[in-house]
Structure 1
Amino acid sequence: MKKTLLFTSLMCAGLSMSALAAAPALMPYPAKLSQQQGYFSLPATLGFSVSQMGDARLALLKQQLQQSLNTQLVDNNQAASLQIHVKQSANADYPALGDDESYSLKINSQGIRIDAATELGALRAAQTLRQLAFEHQGKLPFVSIQDSPRFPWRGLMIDSARHFMPLDAIYRQLDGMASAKLNVFHWHLTDDQGWRLESKTYPKLQELASDGLYYTQDDIRKVVDYARQLGIRVVPEFDVPGHASAIATAYPELISLPGPYQLERHWGVFEPLLDPSNPKVYTFIDAMVGEIASLFPDPYLHIGGDEINPKQWQQSESVAAYMTEHKLADHHELHTHFNAKVQKILARHGKKMMGWDEIFHPDLPKDIMIQSWQGLDSLAQTAMAGYQGLLSTGFYIDQPQKTAYHYRNEPIPANDFVAPKISNDTQWQQWQFEMPRLKGSAVKGEFVIFTQADGSRQGYIQVNKQQTRMLKDIETLGSLTRFWLDTWMGPMQFEVSLNSTKSLDGRILIGNSPYSVRGKQLGSGQGNNNAPQVVKPTHFEPQSADNILGGEATIWSEIITGENLDLRIWPRLYAIAERFWSAKTLTDKDEMYRRLAVMHEYGTKVGLAYADQQQAGFASLVSKGADLSPLYTLAEIVEQAQYYTRHHIKFQADAYHHGERLDRFVDFLPAESLALVALDRTISQVKPTDNTALSKVDETLSTWQQQLPAMRELVNTNSELLPLAPVVTDIEQTLQLSRQLVANCRNSAINQAEGETLRNQLWQLAEVRQEMVIGLAHSTERLLERCSN
C-alpha cells in the first residue's frame, strides 16, 4: 500500500480565509500573481504553438505539458489555445549564469499564453503551468503572473563519491530540480571514498579507486545534455589538494608522503594531501582539468579546497624545502599558493575557480566563486571583500531538519541586531555554557539576558566565538527559561534553569535531538554597573549584497544511497527553491507548509520516487504481503534524530563507515513528519476548556492509538523490526499522556506542579533511541504549554 497525505488543517496566518482559499499552491511562489474569477477547462485536444525554441527542448517541454495537462497537444499556429512566445531566437546552447529567466503566464477564457525573453523563461513558466494543472485537475484558474528569480544561482549539490548514485537517480533529481526552477546541478565526483569520473589519461583512478562504480565520459555527456534541455547547468567538483585518498590509492606518487594507500571505507577527514612541491601534481591537475573541460561546458569548476589536515605537509621534507624556497610561512600560505597555481591552470582551460570557504584569500582573482559551508559570517566577509559567493550553511539537506528551518535561512545577512536597553532598573545575568557532542569538540559560548522593569527581555549569545546573535522568544516555563536561535547545526533551543548561580541545568534541543548542557553564571546585577558589554556584530554593507548570487542545497551521502536519495531531498527542496527564487518577504511558515503539503503529492507526479522508496523500504522489513499501514503510522509519530546526531551515534558505535547497513526503518523515514507539522498547527490554536481545537488534537491521537495493536504485532513478528519494540512501548505511553492531557485541558488549565511532572516524563520519552526521536513527545509538550496556567 502506498500512502499519500494531504494536510488540510494547515492554515495561513498571514492571509484571510477567502484569500487563502484562492491562493494557488505554487512553489516557488511567483513574484506577482493576480487571480480572476473563472476557469479555463482543458479539452482532450489542445492547439499548441511555440515560437523560437530549439527542437530538443521543445520535444521535452511538449512531453511534460501533455502529461501534466492530461491533454493531447496538436501543433496549430492558427488556432492555438496554448501559445508560447520566446522573444530571442532559439538558444539551444548551454545556459549561462545570469540568463534572463523571467516570464509572464496568462490564463483566461481564450486559453493559455506564455511570454518569455528566452527559452529558459519559457521553461520556468511551463513548470508553473504544470503545478497549476496538478492542483486544479482538468481546469485552470484565470491568472496573470509576472515572475522572475531573486537569485541567479539556485543549486543542488549531490555527492556521488561516498555512495555512488545510479544514473536513473541523477536523472530523477534533474527532473525534480526543473520542477522547482532550480538551475545548477553541482556534482561532487571525487573524494576519499571514491573516484566517480572516467579518466582517459589517468585510468587507474577508476580502475583502482572506484570499486567499479563510476560514470563513463559518455554517461556524463548525456547527463549534461539532458540538464541543458531542462535549463540546468552542471558544475563538477574535483577535490584538491585534500579529500585525496582516492587519488592516493591510484597514484601515490602525487601525495606528500609515500604510501601505500587504499580507498577509505570510513567517513571523516583524512590525511592524504597532494604534494605542492611535486611538478607532476600540476601536470596531473592540468590533464584532469582538460578532460573535465571537454565534458562539462560550464565556465565554473569546483576544486573543493576544504578541510585541509596539514599533517602530511608538516612532515614532508620536500614540502618544507618548497615552503622555504617560496617564503611561505605556514600551511595556510602554502594552500593559497597552491590554489593560485591551480587557478591559472583552470584559466588556461577557460574555467573559473569555485571552492569552499577555505580557498578564500585576497590574493586570488575576483572572478573566483566561494561556496560557504561555514555560515553567514564567512559569506559576508567574502562578499564585502568583493568576491562572489553562495550560501550552503543551513541548506545541508543530508541533515534531517525541519523545512521551516531551511525556509528561514536567508542568504543576504540581515543586519537585524538591536542593541540592549540598559536602564537603572534593568536586571541582567551572564552565563557560560558548554554542550558536549557525540563526535567532535563541545559547542561552547556565552549568553546574557537583560530583563526590564516591565518584564520584557532581550538576549544575546556567542556560539563557538562566532559573531553575536540575538536570542529569540525568551520566555519562562515554570522553573525553566527557554530561548532559541538558528545555527549551522540547526535550530538551537535552550531549555535551562537559571535559578542557581553555581550551575546551569536543563537541555539544548538541536532540532528535535536533546543534548545535555553544563555551565556557570559569570555574573549578574542591575543597571549599568558592571553590565556585560555586548559586542555588536560586523555590519554587512548592503552594496555587497549583489556579490551573493544565491545558494545551494547539499546532500552528502555518508548515510544516503540511491535507494533513499529522493526521500532525503524531497519535498522540502521545493521550500528551499522558493527561498532562492521568491521574494525575501515570503516568510510565513504556515502558508509554506500548506503549499508544501500539495507539493508532497505533486513531486510524485513529476517522477520523484520518495513515495516508492519509502514503500519499498518498509516492504523489505516485513513478510511478503504484510499490511504496511502500521509502519506509515509509526513514521508519522517518530522522526530521524536531527542535525548530524545519526552520524555521530554511528561514529560512537564504530559504524561510521561504508559497510554500515542503511536499510533499517530509520533509513526510510522522511526528513520530517508532515503529520506532526499539521498536529502542531492545531495545537497552536488550543486554549484551556475550549473544546474546538482540543477535539481535533484528540481525533489525531485516537487514530494513532487505534493503530498500536497492529503496530506492536508487526514489530514483534518481523525480526528486522524487533529492535523497535521499546520505541512502540514508549509511543504507547506518549499517546496515553497526550490523551490524558487533552482530557484534563478540557476541564481546566494545568497547574505548575502538574506541568513539571508531565514535562519530566515527556523529556524522557523524547530521548534519542534507534537514531530516532518520538516527535509526538515534543508536540505533547507544546500542548502542555497551551494548557498551562
Structure 2
Amino acid sequence: MNKFCFFLFLLFTLSGSLTGQPNMLMPVPQKIISGNGEFRFTGGFRILVNQPTGSRAGAGVSRFIRRLDNKTHLLLVKEWLTKKPEQQKDLLAISCNTVAKLLPGEDESYLLKITPEGCELTAPADIGILHGLETFLQLIESDSKGYFIRSVTIDDAPRFTWRGLLIDVARHFSPVDVIKRNIDGLAMMKMNVLHLHLTEDQGFRIESKVFPKLHQYGSDGDFFTQEEMRSLIQYANVRGIRVVPEFDMPGHATSWFVGHPELASGPGPYTIEKKFGVFDPTIDPTRKETYVFLEKFLTEMCELFPDPWMHIGGDENNGKQWDANPKIQEFMKKNGLKDNHALQNYFNTKVMAILKKNKKKMIGWDEVLQPGLPADAVIQSWRGKEGLEAAAKKGHQVILSNGYYIDLSNPAWKHYTNDPLPANNNLSPDEQKNILGGEATMWAELVTPENIDSRIWPRTAAIAERLWSDREVNNIPSMYSRLARTSIRLEECGLEHITYRAKMIRRLAGNRNIESLITIAGLVEPLKDYKRHAQGVAYSTDLPFTRLPDIAAADAPVPLAFKDLCETWFRKKDPDVIPAIRAQLEEWQPLHGEVQIAASGIPALAPWLIVSERVSKLSKIGLESLHYVESRAPVPDAWVKESYTTLSEAALPVQECELMIAESVMMLFQNALPK
C-alpha cells in the first residue's frame, strides 16, 4: 500500500464518509428526521432572508454565501424576503423574529427543513439562524451530477447555554488575527463564549487609558489597544459570540506591579515574570487605595467590555506575601479574618461590589468559593467535579473547565467523555439548573501564535459537541470519525492547525525535502499533562517554541489509524488487514536514513534523529513479527529479548514526546510470541 492508498484508508477509517450525511454532523443535533429524496442545487438557486444585510443574521448569510460559493462555485444570489415566498422551489428561505442579546439562556434553537423542492431555515432569534447555516453547510454532498442535500428535518437547540473557549493571551500573546480566526472556529462549532485571560505574571495585555503604566510597563509591547478590542468584540458579536474578559487578582498579578508597585503586598521593584508557575506577588487587599485604584480600572474595563459578566480570576494565591507583611497580619487580626482564605474572600467581596456598581456579575475560579460569598457569583471549576457540585449546591451558577484543559495534550476522547452533568451526578433537579456549561481552556505556557491553533483544534470540536448534544451522544469511534472531517472543514475559516507544521519544519530545514520530517512529527505527540515541565527544560517566555514537541500535536491521526489496523488484527484475528500493516511498516522503516539526509549539518534537527532511529527500529520489529506469524517459523529467544528491550525503550519519553506507534508495534510483537 503506497502513501496515497494509506491516506485514503486513513480518511475512510477516521472519517467514515466524505459526504455530508446527517449522521456525520458535528455537533450532533437534538432531533433528525430523514426524508425521501434529495434537494439538488441548480443555477437558479436563491437565498431569501427576512433580515437586512447589516444585521447579525444578514451578515451571517453573506458569510454563508461566500463559503458556499467557494466550495461549490454556484454563484448564489441573496434577496430580501418581506413575506413567505409562494414558490419554495430552488431556494433557501431564512427567517427569524428577534435579535438576540447574547445572554446565557438565550433561545438558540433552529428548525431546518430540506425537501426535494426547496429548503427552509427558521429560528426564534438570529443566533439560531447562524447555527442552522452551519448545519446546512455540513449537509452538502456532491456527485457527478452536482451538489445536493438529502431530505431531512432537523430540530435543534443546545443542551448547555455556556459553551466557551478560554484563550490565555497573557503568558504568550496572541494578536488580533489569531483571535479572529479562532472566533470563526467557535462559530463554526456553535460555541458562544470567548473568555480572554488578559493579565498574568507574564503580561498585562489590554490598554488602560486611566492607568497607562499597566500596559506600558507590563506587556513588553504586546497588548490589545482598546480600539483593537472593540473590533474583536464586534467581530465576535456578529458571529453570536460573547467576549468575557478576565483580570486575574489578587494573585498571578506580577505584571500589574511593574508599573504600579504600590498595589503589591511586598516591596518592589518588580519585573515581568519570564518563567511559569505560581509566584508570590499578590495585590494588597488591606489598603483603601487598592480599591480606589481597582474601581477606576474596573469601571474603565466595564465600559470597554459590554458583556454582563467579568472574571476576576482568584486562583492560586499562595499567600506568602500576606504572611510576611506585618501590616496585613495586623489588619487580619483587627478585622477577625482568621486565615488567608478569609482575607481573600474579603477582597473578592469588595471587588464584587465594584462590579455590581457597574452592573456586572462576577466570575471566579474555584478558590473564590468561600463562606459568605454572595450566591450570584459564578464559579468556574478547574479542580474537579466535587467543587462544581459544591458550588451548585450553594446556589452558585457554575462553569466546568476541569477535564477541558486542552493545553495538556490529552486525546479528544478524554474531553468528550467529561460531561458537566453525568447521569450519576449528585445534584437535585434545581441544582442541576445551576450548571451553565463548560469552557475549554487554552493556557499559553507552551504555545505561541504559530502553533496555538493545533492545540485548540480539532479537539475543541469534541468539547463543543459535549456541550451542545445530548448526554447519550457519547460514541467515541463515531466522534473521531466526524472529528476528522470537521478538522478539514475548520480550515475554511483560516485556522492553521493543519498547515502550521510544514511551515515550522521548513524554518528548520530550509529548502531541503521535508517529507520525512513531516512524517516523524506526525508519529509523535507532546507529553501529556504537565510532564514536559519535568524533562529538564526550564521553560520561559524567552525560549523558542519551535522544537519537535511544539511541532507535534495531540491525537496524531496516522498513529490512530495504524492502531486501528493493529487492533483489528490483534483482537479480531482479521488477516485482511495484514497487507496494510506491512505496507505502512515498510514505508516507515527507511525513515531514519531519510531524516539523516534532511538533518545533515543542521544542529536544530539533531534531536529528530533519536526519534527517527526509534521509528525505524520499531518498523523492523513489526515486519519481523508479521514474518514469524505468517511463516510460523520458530521465534528465536535472542530476537524476543532484543525486541522487548527496544520496545521498552520506545515506550519512554523521547524529546519531550511520546512515540505513538510503540503500543501498536507491541501488539504485533505479542502476536508473534509463542503461545
TM score, norm. by length of structure 1: 0.79
Query: Retained in 1: the 8 A contact 2:315–2:367?
Result: yes
**How much has 1:728 moved relative to structure 2?**
1.2
The answer as to 2:307 corresponding to 1:298 is yes
Paired AA for residue 694 in structure 1: I
Aligned counterparts of 1:184 and 1:630: Cα–Cα separation in 2? 39
Query: Retained in 1: the 8 A contact 2:585–2:620?
Result: no
Residue of 8, 11, 34 corresponding to 1:8: 11
Gaps of 5+ in 2: none
Query: Retained in 2: the 8 A contact 1:24–1:132?
Result: no
Q: CA, structure 1 residues 749+755, in 2 after alignment: closer, same or farther (shift >3 Å)?
A: farther
Paired AA for residue 34 in structure 2: Q
Paired AA for residue 578 in structure 1: E
Residue of 724, 730, 734 corresponding to 2:608: 724
Aligned counterparts of 1:5 and 1:564: Cα–Cα separation in 2? 24
Query: Retained in 2: the 8 A contact 1:397–1:554?
Result: yes
Query: Retained in 2: the 8 A contact 1:749–1:787?
Result: no
Aligned counterparts of 1:597 and 1:264: Cα–Cα separation in 2? 39
**How much has 1:406 moved relative to structure 2?**
1.3
Residue of 196, 200, 205 corresponding to 1:196: 205
Paired AA for residue 527 in structure 2: A
Partner of 2:166: 157
Partner of 1:673: 556
Query: Retained in 1: the 8 A contact 2:96–2:129?
Result: no
**How much has 1:747 moved relative to structure 2?**
5.1
Q: CA, structure 1 residues 587+56, in 2 after alignment: closer, same or farther (shift >3 Å)?
A: same
**How much has 1:710 moved relative to structure 2?**
2.3
Residue of 164, 182, 189 corresponding to 1:180: 189
Partner of 1:699: 583
**How much has 1:202 moved relative to structure 2?**
0.6
The answer as to 2:649 corresponding to 1:780 is no
**How much has 1:617 moved relative to structure 2?**
0.6
Partner SS, residue 569 of structure 2: coil
Partner SS, residue 72 of structure 1: coil
**How much has 1:681 moved relative to structure 2?**
1.7
The answer as to 2:28 corresponding to 1:29 is yes
Partner SS, residue 671 of structure 1: coil
Aligned counterparts of 2:640 and 2:473: Cα–Cα separation in 1? 36
Q: What per-residue deviation string (whole Å, max 9, x for no partner) do you get for residues 302-341 of structure 1?
A: 0000000111111112211211221001111111111111
Partner of 1:62: 62
Query: Retained in 2: the 8 A contact 1:684–1:786?
Result: no
Q: CA, structure 1 residues 54+333, in 2 after alignment: closer, same or farther (shift >3 Å)?
A: farther
**How much has 1:102 moved relative to structure 2?**
0.8
Residue of 552, 560, 565 corresponding to 2:447: 560
TM score, norm. by length of structure 2: 0.91
Partner SS, residue 585 of structure 2: helix
Q: CA, structure 1 residues 5+169, in 2 after alignment: closer, same or farther (shift >3 Å)?
A: farther
Partner SS, residue 484 of structure 2: helix
**How much has 1:546 moved relative to structure 2?**
1.7
Partner of 2:542: 659
Partner of 1:632: 518
Partner of 2:131: 124
Partner of 1:96: 103
**How much has 1:647 moved relative to structure 2?**
2.9
Residues 214-253 of structure 1 aligned to structure 2 (within 5 Å): 214-253=223-262
**How much has 1:263 moved relative to structure 2?**
0.9
**How much has 1:612 moved relative to structure 2?**
2.6
Partner of 1:615: 502
Aligned counterparts of 1:704 and 1:65: Cα–Cα separation in 2? 43
Partner of 2:291: 282
Q: CA, structure 1 residues 44+630, in 2 after alignment: closer, same or farther (shift >3 Å)?
A: farther
**How much has 1:413 moved relative to structure 2?**
4.3
More strand per residue: 1 or 2?
Answer: 1
Paired AA for residue 698 in structure 1: R
Aligned counterparts of 1:134 and 1:713: Cα–Cα separation in 2? 43
Aligned counterparts of 2:478 and 2:573: Cα–Cα separation in 1? 28
**How much has 1:118 moved relative to structure 2?**
0.7
Aligned counterparts of 2:435 and 2:635: Cα–Cα separation in 1? 50
Partner SS, residue 26 of structure 2: coil
**How much has 1:285 moved relative to structure 2?**
1.3
Aligned counterparts of 2:393 and 2:519: Cα–Cα separation in 1? 49
**How much has 1:25 moved relative to structure 2?**
2.2
Partner of 1:115: 122
Q: CA, structure 1 residues 707+745, in 2 after alignment: closer, same or farther (shift >3 Å)?
A: same
Residues 546-585 of structure 1 aligned to structure 2 (within 5 Å): 546-585=433-472
Query: Retained in 2: the 8 A contact 1:289–1:346?
Result: yes
Residues 360-509 of structure 1 aligned to structure 2 (within 5 Å): 360-415=369-424
Aligned counterparts of 2:636 and 2:474: Cα–Cα separation in 1? 34
Aligned counterparts of 1:729 and 1:673: Cα–Cα separation in 2? 19
Query: Retained in 1: the 8 A contact 2:342–2:370?
Result: no
Q: What per-residue deviation string (whole Å, max 9, x for no partner) do you get for residues 395-432 of structure 1?
A: 1111111111111111124438xxxxxxxxxxxxxxxx
Query: Retained in 2: the 8 A contact 1:103–1:121?
Result: yes
Aligned counterparts of 1:647 and 1:759: Cα–Cα separation in 2? 29
**How much has 1:696 moved relative to structure 2?**
2.4
Partner of 1:641: 527
Paired AA for residue 112 in structure 1: C
Partner SS, residue 214 of structure 1: coil
Fraction of identical pairs, as percent: 36
Q: CA, structure 1 residues 149+159, in 2 after alignment: closer, same or farther (shift >3 Å)?
A: same
**How much has 1:140 moved relative to structure 2?**
2.0
Partner of 2:340: 331
**How much has 1:648 moved relative to structure 2?**
3.0
Query: Retained in 2: the 8 A contact 1:396–1:553?
Result: yes
> Which deviates more from structure 2 when the two are superposed, residues 304-313 or residues 736-745?
736-745
Q: CA, structure 1 residues 75+23, in 2 after alignment: closer, same or farther (shift >3 Å)?
A: closer
Gaps of 5+ in 1: 417-538
Partner SS, residue 661 of structure 2: helix
**How much has 1:363 moved relative to structure 2?**
1.2
The answer as to 2:360 corresponding to 1:351 is yes
The answer as to 2:76 corresponding to 1:73 is yes
The answer as to 2:41 corresponding to 1:42 is yes
Partner SS, residue 346 of structure 1: helix
Query: Retained in 2: the 8 A contact 1:9–1:681?
Result: no
**How much has 1:550 moved relative to structure 2?**
0.9
**How much has 1:638 moved relative to structure 2?**
1.7
Query: Retained in 2: the 8 A contact 1:95–1:232?
Result: yes
Query: Retained in 2: the 8 A contact 1:691–1:746?
Result: no
**How much has 1:580 moved relative to structure 2?**
0.8
The alignment of Structure 1 onto Structure 2 pairs a total of residues equal to 655
RMSD after superposition: 2.7
